[in-house]
Amino acid sequence: MKFTATQIAGILEGKVEGNPNAEVWNVAKIEEGALGMISFLANPKYTHYIYETKSSIVIVNDDFEATAPIQATLIRVRNAYDSFGKLLAFYDQMTQNKQGVSSLAFVSKTAQYGENLYLGEFAFVGENAKIGNNVKLYPQVYVGDGCIIGDNTVLYPGVKLYRNTVIGKNCILHAGAVLGADGFGFAPQPDGHYEKIPQVGNVVVEDNVEIGANTTIDRATMGSTRIHQGVKLDNLIMLAHNTEVGENTAMAAQTGVSGSTHIGKNCVIAGQCGFVGHIKVADGARIGAQSGILGNIRKADDYMGSPSQPLRQYLVSNARFRHIDEMARKLDVLEKELAELKSQK
């Protein structure tokens, strides 16, 4: 799909400087530009690339002043970085605008769905499921009985929704995500075996949530495992039964959250963090990578380490830990000197 400089300027409300008919069909970093590519310049340290880039079009700020000839056509906008993001969103929407129900898909007769549904090959929609308008279910998506999916939500290939899972509006679930599998509930018995505890709750995902590839969210034992609006979950995250993640919290890859843990609003959680069960994390907490959270976090602050502690305290402790061998040697010397003094009495 090709776009001219004039068309792009219209989308971005910008002004063309150069060839209005210059065409592009892909995007590139300004330093890696080629014919048919569009790039942007926002960071001043990359300015020198604009005089040598091979990109056909470059988006620049209104106040950019060239100090040498530029081969590319320029599109001047108020904010080049924001405008490029807007352009990427437009391009993504155009390329992902799939519609129609494949003859190789299956929709239960009791299911309901709205307008402009896309249902790819071997996708499955179970009994009494309800699907909104402009929903896209890519090939091999499984939507179990009684599931609800809101308007404008996208489920990429291989997403699995167990029964009664609820997904809000404007959500994105990436390939391989599994929502609604049984929580890890087993009761130990006197003879040593484990008796499975039925998991009869569900998973509820509110509006504007994005869930990464191969992330798993277990159904509640009773009630709901709940992901509030605006949450962003990376790939390979595991959320156990009855967990709750507050609005606009972002969580990086390989984080694991044990059952019945409540994470607050606007938290930032780095990769490979681990949370024990039945704890609460305060709104606005920021937790560094590979931290182990073993108890409640009661206030918004930066935390790090396993067990986790306030970042300043962690840095001090870590600095001291690096000298532990030296401290141990000094202690040995002091103990020997003390023993000699005692022997002289």
> Over the stretch 2-61, which tens digit does the pLDDT of each residue have?
999 999 999 999 999 999 999 999 999 999 999 999 999 999 999 999 999 999 999 999
**Which residues of the chain form CATH 3.40.1390.10?**
3-95
> Is residue 79 exposed (0-12), middle (13-18) or buried (19+ Cβ within 10 Å)?
middle
228 belongs to the catalytic site: no
The label of the residue with tokens 């023993």 reads 339
Which residues, including other chains, have CB under 8 Å from residue 129's CB and lie 6 or more apart?
108, 111, 112, 113, 143, 144, 145, 146, 147, 148, 149
- CATH, domain range 3-95: 3.40.1390.10
The answer to whether 118 and 100 have CB atoms below 8 angstroms apart is yes
**Which residues of the chain form CATH 2.160.10.10?**
100-314
Q: Tens of pLDDT along 190-222?
A: 999 999 999 999 999 999 999 999 999 999 999
Q: How far is it, in rounded angstroms, from Cα 164 to Cα 222?
A: 13
Q: How far is it, in rounded angstroms, from Cα 249 to Cα 83?
A: 25
Supply the Cα-derived Rg of the chain in whole angstroms: 27
Average pLDDT, the chain: 95
Helix axes 80-95, 5-12, angle to 10 degrees: 110
Q: In terms of CATH, what superfamily is 100-314?
A: Hexapeptide repeat proteins (2.160.10.10)
Catalytic residue, candidates 48, 193, 228, 241: 241
What pLDDT is stored for residue 341 in this prediction? Answer: 86
pTM of the model: 0.83
Q: How far is it, in rounded angstroms, from Cα 29 to Cα 56?
A: 12
